[in-house]
A = this chain, B = another copy of it.
Amino acid sequence: MASRGPSLPRITDVAALAGVSTSTASKALNDTGQLREETRERVRRAAEQLGFTPDSRGRALSSGRSFTVGLITTDSSGRFSIPIMLGAEDTLSAGEMALVLCDTRDDPLREQHYLRSLVSRRVDGIIVTGRRTEPRAPIDVPIPVVYAFSPSTDPADISVIVDDHGGAASTVQHLLSLGRRRIAHITGPATHHSAQVRAAAAVATAGSSLVGEPMHGEWSERWGRHAVDVLLRSNPEIDAVSCGSDQIARGVCDRLRELGRSVPDDIAVTGYDNWSVMALASRPPLTTVDLELEELGRRTANLLLDAIAGSPHPGEMALPTRLVTRESTLGT
């Protein structure tokens, strides 16, 4: 309707310039059909000369695929879903797939709205992700779906999650290997699945080297600082603290320093998440667990591509974490 100046060249323009039919032009540009090499070349030159870019709307309609996948996230702040998104986009864009972003802001109405929109766009697949590790209700669409970070409650769905148990175990293992035998665990709310899992892993791995019960509080520096006060009152002899997040660990380090306890000489501290702004700014920098979320995003995208291609791999896949050692356990 609104004439956008001289509209972009269509394949018929290319065909006309090359002196062939549109079907021949299509075959030439897509390397299909039976054509003389000289003809192909002529068409290619014509396309080049006109600056022809195929209209993917036409292609989508014709091929039955939209070469688009939707990403639904509940995590506006993006602390976790951003890296996942970037990883997914990395993989997808290599396959000429576009990623459309939908942030539900945890509103079921918005989620419904976005689902309708994605279905109406006939996206080839959908990635669902969130900011919590709690399993979530599956979405109901006639399109392949992969859940990332927050798995689906339906085990028949495809979910990719972080191996939180292994991650927490690796920090405690690390502390044990350094000879620490009086280890405390300070983490987030007991109502959070991730805090639960990490605490359970710490308990299981430390065994008799764990001092007291895991301490649950907020995911904040303030709680880290406060927990240190409580902890040292009842257990002044601890030699390590395994924390459920980098924020907590940073608070722990700050408070220990203020109390004159040296980290890591007196007490080693580990964080969790490898959130660089916390882990690196902490004094000292934190030994922590990297969730490898970009890799998780890439794996998610690959699983989705497989499902789109017709060979889904259902089930829950837990990806390994990576222990990053820094001064908070190793000294300088």
Contacts and interface: CB of A to CB of B under 8 A. Distances in A.
B220 A122 contact: no
A103 interface: yes
Given A61-B58, A101-B89, A78 B68 contact: no
Contacts of A100: 68, 98-101
- How many monomers of this chain does the complex have? 2
Interface in A79-138: 82, 85-86, 89, 93, 96, 98-103, 113-114, 116-117, 119-122
A139 interface: no
Given A55-B122, A61-B58, A121-B98, A8 B142 contact: yes
A57 B82 CA distance: 28
Q: Could you tell me the dominant secondary structure of chain A's interface residues?
A: mixed
A310 B2 contact: yes
A281 interface: yes
Given A61-B58, A93-B117, A98-B117, A220 B82 contact: no
A223 B291 CA distance: 28
B53 A116 contact: yes
Nearest to A2: B310
Contacts of A64: 1
A4 B309 CA distance: 11
Nearest to A52: B120
Given A8-B142, A100-B68, A220-B281, A78 B82 contact: yes
Interface string A48-59: 000001111110
A5 interface: yes
A245 to B, nearest CB: 12
